[in-house]
Chains A and B, each alone.
Chain A
Amino acid sequence: MIEPMHVETDVLVIGAGGAGMYAAIEAARAGRTVLLADRSLIGRGGATVMAQMTVAVALGEETPDHWTHHLHDTITAGRGLCEESLARLLCEEGPDCIRQMDAWGVGWARRDGHIAQAMAPGHDRPRCAYVDFLNTGPAVSKTLRTVVNKTAGIRKAGDLVIIDLVRVDGEVAGATALHLSSGNAVTIAAKATIVATGGLTRLYRRNSASANMGGDGYALALRAGAPLIDMEFVQFFPIGHLAPRLIGMDPIMWDPFRYKLGGRLLNGLGQEFTSRYGSDEDGAYVLTRDLATYAIIKEVEAGRGSPHGGAYLSFEHCPEGALREAFGPVIDRLAANHIDLTKMPVEVAPIAHYHMGGIAVDARMETGIPGLLAAGEAVGGANGANRLSGNAVTEALVFGRRAGRSAAERATRIDAQPFRQQAARSAIELATAGRDAERTELPNSAEMILSLQDTMADDVGAFRTGPKLERAIARLDNLARDLGERPFGDRAPFDMPRIDWLDLRNMVLVARTVARAALRRTESRGAHQREDFPGMLPQWRVNQVVRWRDGALDISAVPPAADMSANLAAAQ
């Protein structure tokens, strides 16, 4: 076996999206050395760069506002399950982070000399800042990349797929990785490790995030002993682009059009239909995501869907000048895709968009396993059973900053690296082992990923039943069997079957946590809708906690805590 390459750092940040970059900046500013690792390019993968929409924050620039109003809306949307200390942190520190981004030159859209804030569903007043046109995420990413590049003490390392965290004496002491461009194993000793890998939308066939959001951070944390919470709550974005085929644009692009211009949601017969499901839009855009997803899926089930199995979204009533004013060059990009909004509707359908659940942390972003922190979408609990529009980028920035500070404090406090190479041995083996000689024919790893995505979309999607969830769990068991214990692939740069195998190892584990938690929750709440158990039940006002114990998943229920640290202490 070729010896792995080894590096040491004070703080290891896994994932270079919005949360990871902000964490790296903050830890480095506190004087610590940082290794900012990502499985692809720095600051270009993940979800932040894909966010074309808005950032919810109580700046009070558009109308008077206070973070407590934002918190009230966040908790209401969360259907009783928000981890209040995290929701509060998001809302209270959001304005500071957004103004910091402004000072760093992100370029929030302005109107009459102030930062423009748009109205979005679920907010009680205009609260959502943005960067024109459809450029919020790219601008946030670019700004953070620039600051990362200017901050001393941050080493950047792309093409590193983290295989497992290294656990020594009950603490996390770094990680083991596969370096894609060489095919070598890498061990990283770190005094503090921040998981900022985003969510799990890649588990679904149709999703709005990038291909590297396969829930890997959840799997890393779970295997290292940290609990996950609220895994059953996957947010579907109701109006993801469906048809005609559109390239060069993210499928969630229609939301800002609706913020600015309303737009009409119509069924296959050309009728407005959301009022049938208890909410009348009346030309404005007020429907929350869970209700809109429900309405569209039910129309399709009733045989009133659009040709590709969704709903129509029409801006045909908007004058061309208004479209051009609101979206400028985006209109030309649509024209290149043969879409003229003045003459035709587009088809939209729900698409996996965000995950409310994730790694359980306290308000310092610490997991309860010393040395292991989390940030951004990887964190569970802040948004409860349903996330408000605009809270995702805010939590990326706020939680990233907080995690960076906490990690730096720990790295300052402890002297020696707790890392031991022996503890990394099994993960090094996964990075470098040859294929299982006893298996003559291996399945196609890329096809297995599609199969997992189909299973999750068909049976663990926005609407669930007991039998469907049980079928999904059985299919995931089959996938786990096909996967086996030894990775596929040769040992070379960009060994795609090995990358798929390592991804599937995480995806199957995380998919099981979602399906198992969803099967247990015999009620409907927020983004978790059970057709066999409609309605919200008071006894289910609990967070489900998933732990990895003796090689098996252990799920328990705890009442929502005002402060997660009590639960984390109990978990030890």
Chain B
Amino acid sequence: MTATARLKIWRGRDADAGGFETYEVPFEPGQSVLDGLRWIRAHRDPTLAVRFSCINANACKECMVEIDGATHYACTERLEPREMTVEPLSNKALLRDLVTEIAPPGERFRG
């Protein structure tokens, strides 16, 4: 049997009305947590909201989330063959699922 990672991911649009969903993700050594999140979008649920630009280089700084309660970049944190809990940043306004309002106030669109 191939190894899997279990990603327990917080889903929702409202911080008070969301919940966790768990996904089994095929595990290959060396993968990042972001690899796992991208796999879920392409193979299980494309509505999972997660933001990133650079995928791998740790240049865009967009994929910051809480993994097992600590703040990490999803692109540099390794996926592990166990259950890992992924949540949006608790100190930023929630937009949806794992996406929070991370832009500095002066860089947000205002109509």
Contact = CB atoms under 8 A, between A and B. Distances in A.
A565 interface: no
B34 to A, nearest CB: 9
Nearest to A149: B106
B54 to A, nearest CB: 4
Given A5-B111, A158-B108, A210 B46 contact: no
B59 interface: yes
A245 B31 CA distance: 7
Contacts of B60: 40-41, 44-45, 49, 210
Contacts of A212: 53
A449 B41 CA distance: 11
Contacts of A49: 54, 59-60
A9 to B, nearest CB: 12
Contacts of A6: 111
B107 A250 contact: no
B14 to A, nearest CB: 11
Nearest to B78: A247
A458 interface: no
Interface string B34-50: 00001001110011110
A496 B49 contact: yes
Interface size class, chain B: 35 or more
Interface string A341-373: 000000000000000000000000000000000
A494 B96 contact: yes
B101 interface: yes
Contact of A42 (B28, B58, B73, B107): B107
Interface stretch (A379-387, A408-416, A440-448): A440-448
B53 A445 contact: no
Nearest to A253: B57
B5 to A, nearest CB: 14
Contacts of A160: 109
Given A41-B103, A159-B103, A494-B51, A446 B109 contact: no
A211 B49 contact: no
Contacts of A179: 109
A303 B3 CA distance: 30
A244 interface: yes
A245 B47 CA distance: 27
Contacts of A446: 38, 41-42, 46
Interface in A11-53: 37, 40-42, 44-46, 49-50
Q: Which of B31, B32, B53, B106 has the most CB of A within 10 A?
A: B53
Contacts of B49: 493-494, 496
A50 B95 contact: no
Nearest to B28: A245
Interface residues of A, number: 49
A210 B55 contact: yes
Nearest to A251: B56
Contacts of B108: 157-159, 181
A473 B32 CA distance: 33
Contacts of A496: 41, 46-49
A158 B101 CA distance: 11
Nearest to A48: B59
Contacts of A248: 56-58, 73, 75-76
B62 interface: yes
B104 to A, nearest CB: 8
B80 interface: no
A253 to B, nearest CB: 8
16 contacts: A6-B111, A40-B60, A50-B57, A159-B108, A179-B109, A181-B109, A247-B58, A247-B75, A447-B43, A492-B13, A493-B95, A494-B51, A494-B97, A494-B99, A496-B41, A496-B46
Interface of B: 13, 28-32, 38, 41-43, 46-49, 51-62, 73, 75-76, 78, 95-97, 99, 101-103, 106-111
Interface of A: 5-7, 37, 40-42, 44-46, 49-50, 137-138, 149, 156-160, 179, 181, 184, 186, 210-212, 244-251, 337, 444-447, 449-450, 489, 492-494, 496-497, 500
